[in-house]
Chain A
Amino acid sequence: DIQMTQSPSLLSASVGDRVTINCKASQNINKYLNWYQQKLGEAPKLLIYNTNNLQTGIPSRFSGSGSGTDYTLTISSLQPEDFGTYFCFQHNSWPFTFGSGTKLEIK
């Protein structure tokens, strides 16, 4: 199985900060990488699919990049509603797998 390693596992940042969350795959996943945000007690929400495609309705401060084994989710200017846990997900090779999550706290 492809292992997805997210870093950092915990991130504390201030409103207005530029935030980056990283996801490293154990092998090339050919940009088949999605990002989800989950708030406590809620279902995950799709933010980005296939590395850099912004899901409809998601603010443009969210962006994704990467290739090969290394991928990044960037929030250009952190807003109070952006707290939560962020997961990456690879769908290049079966079984498709999630990262372990990055918990984003607002200072």
Chain B
Amino acid sequence: EVQLVESGGVLVQPGRSMKLSCAASGFTFSSFPMAWVRQAPTKGLEWVATISTSGGSTYYRDSVKGRFTISRDNAKSTLYLQMDSLRSEDTATYYCTRRYPVMDAWGQGASVTVSS
């Protein structure tokens, strides 16, 4: 069974950092491009970042470029999102997704709240 399990979500102050992890199982993680998608409270979905199978190519939405870093460890079947200089507008549930841009599997989401 394909499973994606996010962890690391919490309350953090503006300007601080946080790292999300997504542990994958049930499939060959290294064969799939992966992505992070977020959803602010009562809002729609928003693509955040994408990474290629090897990790050699990454893409970001403009509003997080230079602040967020997506990475992966294929040996550990784990996807990461390092978030620096966090802003209140980054408050959202963050989902990791498989096989971007088809996104045929999603994690349960990690809640990130940026507030003083």
Contacts and interface: CB of A to CB of B under 8 A. Distances in A.
Nearest to A87: B45
B44 A34 contact: no
Interface residues of A, number: 21
B45 A96 contact: no
Considering the complex of A and B, which 5 residue pairs feature the smallest CB-CB distances, nearest first?
Answer: A91-B101, A43-B106, A98-B45, A46-B104, A49-B102
A45 interface: yes
Given A95-B61, A97-B47, A43 B102 contact: no
B47 A95 contact: yes
B103 interface: yes
A98 B104 contact: no
Interface of A is mostly: loop
Nearest to A98: B45
B29 interface: no
A64 interface: no
Contact of A34 (B62, B95, B101, B107): B101
A94 B103 contact: no
A6 to B, nearest CB: 9
Contacts of B108: 42-43
Interface in A62-107: 87, 89, 91, 94-101
A14 interface: no
Contacts of B106: 43-45
B45 A46 contact: no
10 contacts: A32-B101, A44-B103, A44-B106, A87-B44, A87-B45, A95-B61, A95-B62, A96-B101, A98-B47, A101-B44
B59 interface: yes
Contacts of B109: 43
Contacts of A96: 47, 101
